[in-house]
Amino acid sequence: MVRIGAHLHDGDPLDFAQAADADAVQFFLGDPQGWKAPTFPGGREPAEVREAFAAAGVDAYVHAPYVINVASPNNRIRIPSRKLLGQQLAAAASIGAKGLIVHGGHVTAGVDPEEGFGSWRKAVERIERPLPMLIENTAGGDGAMARSFDAIARLWEVIAGAADGGGEVGFCLDTCHAYSAGEELDGIVDRLKAITGRIDLVHCNNSRDEFGSGRDRHAPLESGTIDPAQIVGVIRAAGAPVICETPDPAADIRWLRGQLG
């Protein structure tokens, strides 16, 4: 059976997961909009967090702060991003997380995307990955590294060799982001696996906006602009763990379990 969980912005992630009867939970290690070093739930030591999750049988996933952009042409963003990403990977590994999710980032207007892809290569070469680093597709941005499948293919081409020996680089598929980016969900798993060879995690979200909008606004699984049956089809095809990042994730966990039987 597919393991299904939810994202938590605030509060104790393990308490939330158990209350929602979730198999997994995704959370931040600190301020998602800040540059400070990682912190741990409830101020506990990493070993305590790891042992509590293991005893409960709940899988932990950590989402890196949104400010991280290792593709940025601005040294004041790119270099701190690389440092913080390394800190987040080490901290997530210390609590036994299954993976750390990070956005693909972007270059600024007028900058050749190849510069951003090159920056990603350097990041992958230089950052130790003691657990899988899962790059997530994004919804908008003309200079985005992981919005279109063409861009994702180029990103994977660039980092494939650099990833050897430093730890796994995997992929997190967000259904809302793909739809908002103008990528059809029918057959999306096969198309992505042809590029990346893997899907490690699915962010299972409906969208409040129309196809190709470029907007990242999540909706409940049953009431967005994406046909819910398409979302279920993606989950079945991917066969990967699922995280719901929706307004009422506990309800969506129950609904999705019912659909998957």
Domains of the chain: 4-260 (3.20.20.150)
| SS3 state of residue 171 | strand
Helix (H) or strand (E) run with residue 156 in it: helix 149-160
How many other CB atoms are there within 10 angstroms of residue 15's CB atom?
15
User: Can you say whether the dihedral through the CA atoms of 179, 230, 228, 23 is positive or negative?
Assistant: negative
Cα 254–Cα 247–Cα 190 angle in degrees, nearest 5: 70
pLDDT at 68 (0 to 100): 98
Tokens describing residue 38: 């990682």
pLDDT at 1 (0 to 100): 87
* Sequential DSSP letters for 2-42: --EEEE-SSS-HHHHHHHTT-SEEEE-SS-TT--SPP--GG
Which residues of the chain are under the pLDDT cut of 50? Answer: none
**pTM flag (> 0.75):** yes
CA distances from 3 to 62, 77, 154, 249, 250 (A): 16, 35, 30, 14, 14
pLDDT at 165 (0 to 100): 63
Tokens describing residue 17: 């997961």
In angstroms, the CA 114 to CA 112 distance is 5
